[in-house]
A and B are shown apart, each in its own frame.
Chain A
Amino acid sequence: MAERTIRSPLPGIFYRQPSPDAEPFVKEGDVIQPGTVIGLVGVMKTFHQITADSGGRVVRFLVENEEPIRPGQEIAVLTDAGDE
């Protein structure tokens, strides 16, 4: 099944966890649902949630924690939940 990507609508700093000491929202291999939060973009002193528009298995992240991102940048790759 074709892989698909989750993009950020916003520029800013990408965070994989809700706070510096917390676990990441999702990890590689996790099966997620539509609407699952996969990270945050921090810009203008506010944090915007990046959510998956479709469900599936998280294959990999294309952006490191705390990396600056551009609008439309691909953040993570999903595949169907049954695929390994």
Chain B
Amino acid sequence: MLEVRNGGFETTVQDYPGRIGMLSLGFAPAGPMDDYAFRFANVLVGNPPGAAGLEITAGGLVVAFHDERAFAVCGADMAARLNGQPVVLWRSYRARPGDVLEFDYLQGAGFRTYLAVSGGIDVPPVLGSRSTYLPGSVGGLDGRKLQAGDRLPLGEPRVDLGQVIDRRVRADLIPGYAGYNEVWEVEATRGPQADPDYMTREDMDAFFSHHWKLDAASNRTGYRLDIYKWQWARTSGGAGGGHPSNIIDNGYPVGAVNVCGDQPIILCIDGPTLGGFICNAVVAKAAMWKLGQMVPGWSYIHFKEVSLEEAIELLARQDASISEENLERS
């Protein structure tokens, strides 16, 4: 059992790949915003990469261990400390009963960090996943973010603790994060409604060259980018509505760039599953983790166009890299 002494700003239970296969029923997948750091944290402690762990957003979490467990913290630096001693990111440690793990506020680039504990967080799965879907109050612990007094059940570890502590992720696989006012390069494919039918070629050229500012009002549902005066290929949305960004309602891909009027919004993993605005691009699945480490109000995005084949190849390489073989003894 893991005892929550302070829930921090927004800490939720997530698993990977989340509640998939239910977009047609209106369920977003949820899951970790940065699935790269999340999966590596699990691999470090000997869990399956998708086992349930904690997503800690912007810091402030304090937990106490009641069992001897391996744990790892991967992602943004929140000056984590175990009983006051600094915890190095991307590394596995031993926690003993009574040990207290504390996260301060963000210390630099990045926005979310992930805590994996050997055995995983054993909340009951809901519709096939332990992920917390906050807008629907579903999954995780009672469908909500964590708060002081919560007690999180833990599962049985798969391997002996001695085999999985004191390991670290190979240095070249630890990603660097773009800092405040810096630009993230995000791989994206052209979307289902791009040029020439919905936008002009010039609109798409601008989309793939502009440095888009991430609005402070961005969260796991959507990442709002700046208003842009598009040319549009059509004068109206026809049967879909009066504005050329309107279409007849259709399903939205996860990671779609949804253009509502003049404003592009990236639909994140808690985002809407259908609607009546165009999607001119889709973030490559292997690049979705970058969204999780951007700082709302401070980060910029440059979309780098990739083909569908390249996006699939990026994902295959990423999935293959998140492996026991890429850990070292620390």
Interface residues of A (CB under 8 A from B): 9-13, 42-46, 48, 68, 70-72
Q: Which of B58, B59, B180, B220 contacts A43 (CB 8 A)?
A: B58
Tell me if B10 and A44 are in contact (CB < 8 A): yes
Tell me if B60 and A43 are in contact (CB < 8 A): no
Residues of chain A within 8 A (CB-CB) of B219 are 44-46
Tell me if B58 and A71 are in contact (CB < 8 A): yes
* CA A37 to CA B9, docked complex, whole Å: 17
Residues of chain A within 8 A (CB-CB) of B217 are 42-45
Residues of chain B within 8 A (CB-CB) of A12 are 216, 296-297
Sort A-B residue pairs by CB-CB distance and give the 5 closest, nearest first: A44-B219, A9-B105, A71-B106, A71-B105, A13-B216
Tell me if B9 and A70 are in contact (CB < 8 A): no
Hey, what's the 0/1 contact readout for B187-221 against A, CB within 8 Å counting as 1?
00000000000000000000000000000111110
Residues of chain B within 8 A (CB-CB) of A44 are 10, 57, 216-220, 296
Tell me if B105 and A42 are in contact (CB < 8 A): no
Interface residues of B (CB under 8 A from A): 9-10, 57-60, 105-107, 111, 180, 216-220, 295-298
Q: Which of A9, A13, A72 contacts B297 (CB 8 A)?
A: A13
* CA A72 to CA B296, docked complex, whole Å: 15
Main SS at interface, chain B: loop
User: Smallest distance from the beta carbon of B78 to chain A beta carbons, Å?
Assistant: 9
Residues of chain B within 8 A (CB-CB) of A13 are 216, 297
User: Smallest distance from the beta carbon of B38 to chain A beta carbons, Å?
Assistant: 18
Chain A residue at minimal CB-CB distance from B222: A45
Chain A residue at minimal CB-CB distance from B59: A9
Residues of chain B within 8 A (CB-CB) of A68 are 216, 297-298
User: Smallest distance from the beta carbon of A16 to chain B beta carbons, Å?
Assistant: 16
Tell me if A11 and B106 are in contact (CB < 8 A): yes
User: Smallest distance from the beta carbon of A65 to chain B beta carbons, Å?
Assistant: 14
* CA A10 to CA B57, docked complex, whole Å: 10
User: Smallest distance from the beta carbon of B184 to chain A beta carbons, Å?
Assistant: 15
28 residue pairs bridging A and B, Cβ less than 8 Å apart: A10-B58, A11-B58, A11-B106, A11-B180, A11-B295, A11-B297, A11-B298, A12-B216, A42-B217, A43-B58, A43-B296, A43-B297, A44-B57, A44-B216, A44-B217, A44-B219, A44-B220, A44-B296, A45-B217, A45-B219, A46-B10, A46-B219, A68-B216, A70-B180, A71-B105, A71-B107, A72-B105, A72-B106
* CA A9 to CA B296, docked complex, whole Å: 14
